[in-house]
Amino acid sequence: MKNLVLGNEALAKGAINAGLSGVYAYPGTPSTEITEYIQKSKVAKELGIHSSWSVNEKTAMEAALGMSYAGKRAMVVMKHVGLNVASDVFMNMAVSGINGGLVVVVADDPSMHSSQNEQDSRFYGKFAMVPILEPANQQDAYNFMHYAFNLSEELKLPILLRMVTRLSHSRTGVVFKERRKQNGIQLPVNSKRFALIPAYAKEQYKKLVDKKSDLIKSSENSILNKLTLSDDKSLGIIACGIAYNYVMENIGENDSFYSILKISQYPLPKEKVKALYQHCDEILVVEEGYPIVEELLHNYFDENDKIKGRLSGDLPMTGELNPNIVGQASGFFQDKVRNIPEIVVGRPPQLCEGCGHTDLFKAINALIPEIGEKKVFGDIGCYALGALPPLNTINTLIDMGASITMAKGAADAGLENAIAIIGDSTFTHSGMTGLLDAVYENTPITVIISDNSAVAMTGAQDSSALGRLKNICLGIGVDPNHLIMMTPLKKNHNKNVDVIRKELKYKGVSVIISQRPCVRLSREKKEEIKQKIAALN
């Protein structure tokens, strides 16, 4: 029987059935539903699989490594930019190696549907010298989890599994297989390798470099990298991950006429690539993301005109692929298509009606004539929409936590009235450390924590910050006289403007907690939050 699931859900189910003991993650589009599926799964609950959210991707990955150290299978899940946050542990656990199987699932967002860049996680896999798996479809996503845990335990390395938005958020019927048992606790035979002092690290690093031939051998023999050579030699196609679907969509029933190498496991199987290269007159590389495979081909075979892809201009350098772009590049017939009628105008996303962020922004906007423009440093979350008209409040948005630290740097430069706006969950994710920097020097900035008691943008998941913000700020050393609570409501507008104005005048660190639950939360959830806050304070 087929089960109707998203790519993300297929992957999650695959992990449960592959003997997972714990998932660690911080929400981030397009990866969120993987962890949510396990949180909602009755089976996972019965099996005691850990699935609570972590404070950020780094803490998540470290906890997953700890579970692996104890001998059990762990998975850590994040969006592509989350891997930047976790990159410290990611690079180093490749050196130490793992004990129980460990799979790092990273969902890339080409075309930046909900992100600030379109970095390609395969580069990280290459950088850390670990195997990468790249499913093409939802059934692959399910099947690959079992394969990934086996490969991880066989090579004693973490495996990077790369998803992309269109696979994560596309539904289809998937066949589930039997579930295998979890591992028991079994500490590593050689625990020295986890203590990366230089003497041990040098030894481990050499082992990692020496493993490269095993990794390539595994890729060469992998059933996930399928080479089909046909009699027609005009065009050979290397199709990576989801790009395979777009190639097949165009080829349709003529698939026996084309030579295709489907890549779903890296490092690249060089011999298979060579076989295709030598067999065909021209090679088209179709990959979602950066031209990483195309570049490698140029390395293998010298620069030449035989290789087509993003670098050659046959496919665009930016944005995600689709069946039409791939159809054009591979020379298949392309119908003329209609244009969007001119009267259609853009409809960008906007803050929900009644959202507390809006009331906060209006209060700040009221102060702009006094304090001057371009002094509001923003962060990642729903409130980033405050960078758009009609509010136009926020001036910067770079990465998780950058509001506080950028405001600090600007204040260090002599800028007055620097304001940082950060959400509650983003604050605990990456804002606390920056706040300590500012407190340490008593930098004149005003930090506004726009606290809606949820990780709202990704679907209102629980925030680790809930009920703890005040104590965290006091603990960090914020002056209690400049730790102010306010409620962002229309009726409080004048009062809130005064509060912010007063704190802007203070030549030191002020923190204003602007607190009102997300309007998307259900009444029951809001009640639950109220009780939790009361219990904590």
Partner 1 sequence: MHTNIILSGVGGQGILTIATVLDTAALSQNLYIKQSEVHGMSQRGGAVQSHVRISDSEIFSDLIPLGKADIILSVEPMELLRYIPYLKKGGWLVTDSNAFVNIVNYPEKHDLFKQIKSHKNHIILNATEEAKKLGNSKVANIILLGATSSLIPLSEESILNAIKKLFNHKSEKIIKLNIEAFETGKQLAKGFTEFVY
Q: Which residues bind partner 1 (CB under 8 A)?
A: 2, 4, 6, 29-30, 32-33, 113-114, 137, 166-167, 169-173, 242, 244-246, 248-249, 322-324, 327, 335-341, 343-352, 382, 385, 390, 457-459
3-state secondary structure 97-112: CCCCCEEEEEEECCCC
Given the complex with partner 1, which of 371 and 519 has the nearer CB atom? 519
Helix (H) or strand (E) holding 10: helix 7-17
Taking the complex as a whole, how short is the minimal distance between the CB of residue 237 and partner 1, in angstroms? 13
Rounded distance between C-alpha atoms, residue 417 and residue 375, angstroms:
7
Rounded distance between C-alpha atoms, residue 285 and residue 296, angstroms: 11
Question: Residues 497, 489: contact at Cβ < 8 Å?
Answer: no
CB of 171 to partner 1, least distance (A): 4
Closer of 116 and 531 to partner 1 (Cβ)? 116
Give the residue with the Cβ less far from partner 1, 341 or 480.
341
CB-wise, 316 or 475, nearer to partner 1? 316
Distance between CA atoms of residues 422 and 511, nearest Å:
11
**From the CA atom positions of the chain, what is the Rg in Å?**
25
End-to-end Cα spacing for the chain:
50
**Taking the complex as a whole, how short is the minimal distance between the CB of residue 173 and partner 1, in angstroms?**
5
| Spatial distance between the Cα atoms of 393 and 530, rounded to a whole number of angstroms | 29
Pick 459 or 475: Cβ nearer partner 1: 459
Smallest distance, Å, CB 111 to partner 1? Answer: 11
Q: At its nearest, how many Å lie between partner 1 and the CB of residue 143?
A: 16
| Cβ-based nearer residue to partner 1, 102 or 321 | 321
Select 288 or 424, whichever has its Cβ closest to partner 1.
288
Neighbours of 171 (CB within 10 A): 13
Is 131 in contact with 147 (CB distance < 8 Å)?
Answer: no
Q: Which amino acid type is present at position 516?
A: R
- The tokens describing 443, both together, are 């930098």
Distance CA 398, CA 114 (A): 13
Minimum distance between the CB of residue 122 and partner 1, rounded to whole angstroms? 20
Cα–Cα distance, 126 to 129 (Å, whole number): 5
Q: Shortest gap between Cβ of 28 and partner 1 (angstroms)?
A: 9
Min dist. Cβ of residue 333 to partner 1 (A): 11
Nearer to partner 1, 61 or 351 (CB): 351
Residue 442 structure tokens? 């008593």
Q: Nearer Cβ to partner 1, position 31 or 259?
A: 31
* Distance (Å, whole) CA 528 – CA 534: 10
For 514, phi and psi rounded to 5 degrees? -95, 100
Residue among 197 and 337 whose Cβ is closer to partner 1: 337
User: Least Å distance between CB 424 and partner 1?
Assistant: 18
Q: 181 vs 338, which CB is nearer to partner 1?
A: 338
236-240: strand order across its sheet: 226-228, 259-263, 236-240, 283-286, 307-308
Q: Locate tokens 């600007």: which residue?
A: 410
Judge whether 517 and 529 are in contact, CB under 8 Å.
Answer: yes
CB of 332 to partner 1, least distance (A): 10
Examine residue 30 and say whether the peptide bond preceding it is cis (omega within 30 degrees of 0).
Answer: yes
DSSP state of 336: -
Shortest distance in whole angstroms from residue 262 CB to partner 1: 12
Chain centroid to Cα 300, Å, comes to 31
